[in-house]
Amino acid sequence: MPAEAMKLIDDDRLFPANPVTRAIARRLYAEIRGLPLISPHGHTQAGWFARNEPFPDPAKLFVQPDHYIYRMLYSQGISLDDLEIGVDELKDPRRVWRIFAEHYYLFRGTPTRIWLDYAFHELFGLEERLSGATADLYFDVISERLRTPEFLPRALYERFRLEVLATTDSPLDSLADHQAIRQSDWKVRGAAPRILPTFRPDSVVDPDFAGFHENVAMLGQMTHENTSTWPDYLKALAVTRQRFKAQGCTATDHGHPTAHTAHLSADEAARLFEKIIAKRADAAQKELFRAQMLTEMARMSVEDGLVMQLHPGAFRNHNRQVYERYGRDVGADIPMATDYVRSLQPLLDLYGNEKNFTLILFTLDETTYSRELAPLAGHYPCLRLGPPWWFFDSPEGMLRFREQVTETAGFYNTVGFNDDTRAFLSIPARHDVARRMDCVWLARLVAEHRLDDDEAVEVARDLAYNLVKKAYRL
């Protein structure tokens, strides 16, 4: 079939080749495709919606914020300087776009290709595949649309049927953009939009975080607490959590290297904190401090009701040269083996049976699904399993998750889907993939007479919408 006659995306994409299960998947998907989107964890910016200014150009919108894109390009020898990564204003966005388009073939078979084709077709009406030959066509069409009112951030929020969108924010963030949104006259279906902050304290609880000591001092200045002492340091964190809650925050997020937790006495924790603040701690003591801080964050969640998310298992900034040249979060993070059973026991001994506590566990180590995570979540009332994340946010990754987790944890110890994205226009595409793959899995259970049709419809709705609202207290 010639390229000009091909559809960029097919209505049956991702559905089974088997006609029986495909028909069931279609029926299930029809029941949920129009449900509102809830994005409880991601890295979009509240400032986009506070200012509601046009996105500047296609390269700034698609390429620059998306490490899925430029890590692939970098792996094929394309310079991050040529992609203008790490700069505030692109000097030549058309050139950056052409480089991306000329190498679009690299994304064949990847979820990134699925998300991008969805956005190109559904949002911009593009039918031809992106390539070097169509690069300028794409750039011009997208640029023209971005200058229209329909493509302003607030309009896209409404177009995507977003019901909740959570950002990820440092304790040192003033949350001024969130406040501006709340004070604006912007209404969505007659109500204020729900763009909520998420408390991400890594910068003030991880001694290996760049600028940690300066960050702790700034936390003290912002809260008027003496953060050089253990009790006041904890108080400063608790006060900041309350400030986040006042702006609608319902969850915390923790990106620790491991899932290690600890249960130190108050005196032991204070002595450890003194070493951390005095810069006299070794690597083992720093890890022990991170472990203790996860337990402290759990204690605070029991007290204030914020849902806790743990995203461990990434060796972050693995490429030292890239980190030193471009900074954090530039696609050089690598999954690691992660222990949960032993690591979480100190925390679970204290809070595992608390009814007012929810801890959502994510993993980059798929070998833990059936051996550790599903049995843990299948027992402890506080635990829920987050969806496949990051490297496994893919059709096959989603199916592997359902296959290995459902037997022990069922569906109702999971929390639906979250997109965890910096690329705003990928949100509907990612949710569409998740909904389709859940329907594929449910269709298989129906076809094998392991689930009735009405049950499958109910589960599909829960996975797409209800479970995430319940888990994140939305």
Other C-beta atoms closer than 10 Å to the C-beta of 109 total: 9
Q: Decide: 298 and 237 in contact? Cβ < 8 Å.
A: no
Residue 1 pLDDT level (bands cut at 50, 70, 90): very low
pLDDT higher than threshold 90 for residue 325: no
- Please state which CATH number belongs to domain 153-471: 3.20.20.140
pLDDT in tens, 16-55: 999 999 999 999 999 999 999 999 999 999 999 999 999 9
Give the pLDDT confidence score for residue 6 in this predicted structure. 61
Output DSSP code: residue 330. S
CA distances to 71, 389, 401, 412, 463 from 386, rounded to whole Å, are: 24, 8, 10, 11, 12
CA 311 to chain CA centroid, Å, is: 9
**How far is residue 85's CA from residue 63's CA, in Å, rounded to a whole number?**
9
pTM above 0.75? yes
Q: What's the whole-number mean pLDDT along residues 111-139?
A: 97
Share of the chain above pLDDT 90, in %: 92
Q: Decide: 469 and 39 in contact? Cβ < 8 Å.
A: no
CATH class of 55-151: mainly alpha
Two structure tokens written together for 110: 């990847």
Per domain, the residue ranges of the chain are 55-151, 153-471
**How far is residue 431's CA from residue 307's CA, in Å, rounded to a whole number?**
22
Two structure tokens written together for 277: 């603040």
Two structure tokens written together for 185: 């006259």
Residue 200 pLDDT level (bands cut at 50, 70, 90): very high
User: What backbone phi and psi angles, to 5 degrees, belong to 24?
Assistant: -65, -45
Give the pLDDT confidence score for residue 2 in this predicted structure. 43
Higher pLDDT, 316 or 17: 17
DSSP H or E stretch at residue 253: strand 251-254
Number of helices and strands in the chain (H, E): 23, 9
pLDDT in tens, 169-178: 999 999 999 9
Q: List the one residue out of 345, 343, 282 whose CA is nearest residue 313.
A: 343
Query: Fold identical between 55-151 and 153-471?
Result: no
**How far is residue 425's CA from residue 439's CA, in Å, rounded to a whole number?**
23
Burial of 145 (0-12, 13-18, 19+ CB in 10 A): middle
> Residue written as tokens 């389709």?
436
Q: List the one residue out of 305, 308, 316 whose CA is nearest residue 347.
A: 308
**How far is residue 432's CA from residue 123's CA, in Å, rounded to a whole number?**
14
pLDDT in tens, 84-104: 998 888 999 999 999 999 999
Instruction: For residue 204, give the amino acid letter.
Output: V
Average pLDDT, the chain: 96
pLDDT higher than threshold 70 for residue 112: yes
